[in-house]
Amino acid sequence: MLTPRRILALALLLGVLSPLAASRSGGSILIHMGVHLALVAAIPALLAPRLPVHVGAGLLLAAAGLELLAVWGWHLPGPHMWARVSTGGWLLEKASFLAAGLAVWAVAAGAGALGGVAVLLFTSMHMTLLGAILTLAPRDLYGGLCAGWFGLTALQEQQLAGAAMAGIGGAIYLVAALARLGPTLRRAAV
């Protein structure tokens, strides 16, 4: 059934996978980061199904680990460059971000309150850490591929993209974790 959430998610998905977004994200790490955040956080949060069975610790760890590997792996200089200059790399990166994001949001929704909070907080923390590393790096990590976009140097654009990852990406998961934790705390206070 097409709910407003699913319509929004599908519109975002079409936008970030459009040829225009693909061509721009190859040259701008800021646009590339926006696409990443949409695929790993925003779209999966809107689309992920609630798993019909109770999610155990093993599945929580597997989903969190898959998402960690996808996000950190694609931000290593070699894989990151491959995804920005190769159609195959671009497609694989986008598919792995979406799959990892769907896994995290599905298990967070299917886990008990504390399990869901744990996986969302873990994701918030590692995404914030990686964003901080990109922001505070003393040099351009990606070989100047994005120099000149938006009138910024490659390092400046990398730093802004890192700040977006830490501030927006980390915040999405943190807010979701706190929203899941709220009802549990209210019940405990009664």
DSSP 125-172: HHHHHHHHHHHH-SS-SSTTTTTTGGG--HHHHHHHHHHHIIIIIHHH
- Tell me 55's DSSP state: -
pLDDT, tens only, 17-76 = 888 777 766 678 888 899 999 999 999 999 877 665 577 888 889 999 999 999 999 999
Domains identified in the chain, total number: 1
pLDDT, tens only, 125-138 = 999 999 999 999 99
Q: Is the pLDDT of residue 186 over 70?
A: yes
Q: How far is CA 131 from CA 22, 66, 118, 143, in A?
A: 22, 18, 20, 18
Name the residue range of residue 58's domain.
Answer: 4-189
Q: Model's pTM, two decimal places?
A: 0.89
- Tell me what pLDDT residue 93 has: 94
Do 168 and 130 meet the contact criterion of CB atoms below 8 Å apart? no
